[in-house]
Amino acid sequence: MLSAILGQNKERTIDRVKPSPYIAAMAVRDILILPDKRLRLTSKPVAKVDAGVRKLVDDMFDTMYDAPGIGLAAIQVGEPRRIVTIDLAKKDEAKEPQVFINPEIVTASDDKKVHEEGCLSIPEYYEEVERPAAVTVKYLDLDGKKHEVEATGLLATCLQHEIDHLNGVLFIDHISKLKRDRVTKKFAKAAKLAAKGAAK
Ligand code: ZN
Q: Could you tell me which of 159, 181, 180, 174 has the C-alpha nearest to residue 114? A: 174
162 assigned to active site: yes
d(CA 156, CA 111): 12
- pTM for the full predicted model: 0.86
Give the 3-state secondary structure of residue 91.
coil
Residue 91 confidence (pLDDT): 86
d(CA 88, CA 125): 19
Task: Go through 84-113 and write b for each residue having 16 or more CB atoms within 10 A of its CB, e for each that does not.
Answer: bbbbeeeeeeeeeebbbbbbeeeebeeeee
Alpha carbon of 165 to ligand 1 centroid (Å): 7
Our separate counts of H helices and E strands in the chain read 5, 7
Q: Count the helix, strand and coil residues of the chain and give each as a percent rounded to the nearest 5.
A: 40, 25, 30
Alpha carbon of 83 to ligand 1 centroid (Å): 13
pLDDT in tens, 120-179: 999 999 999 999 999 999 999 999 999 999 999 999 999 999 999 999 999 999 999 999
pLDDT in tens, 53-90: 999 999 999 999 999 999 999 999 999 999 999 999 99
What lies within 8 Å, CB to CB, of 11 at 6+ separation is: none
Residue 14 confidence (pLDDT): 41
Least confident piece of the model among 2-11, 77-86, 175-184 = 2-11
Domains of the chain: 2-199 (3.90.45.10)
Alpha carbon of 6 to ligand 1 centroid (Å): 21
d(CA 105, CA 77): 23
Alpha carbon of 111 to ligand 1 centroid (Å): 23
pLDDT in tens, 14-60: 444 444 555 556 799 999 999 999 999 999 999 999 999 999 999 99
Q: Kindly name the residue from 11, 104, 150, 162 that is annotated as catalytic.
A: 162
Alpha carbon of 16 to ligand 1 centroid (Å): 35
d(CA 58, CA 161): 20
Residue 197 confidence (pLDDT): 87
Alpha carbon of 200 to ligand 1 centroid (Å): 31
Alpha carbon of 87 to ligand 1 centroid (Å): 14
Residue 118 confidence (pLDDT): 98
Residue 9 confidence (pLDDT): 40
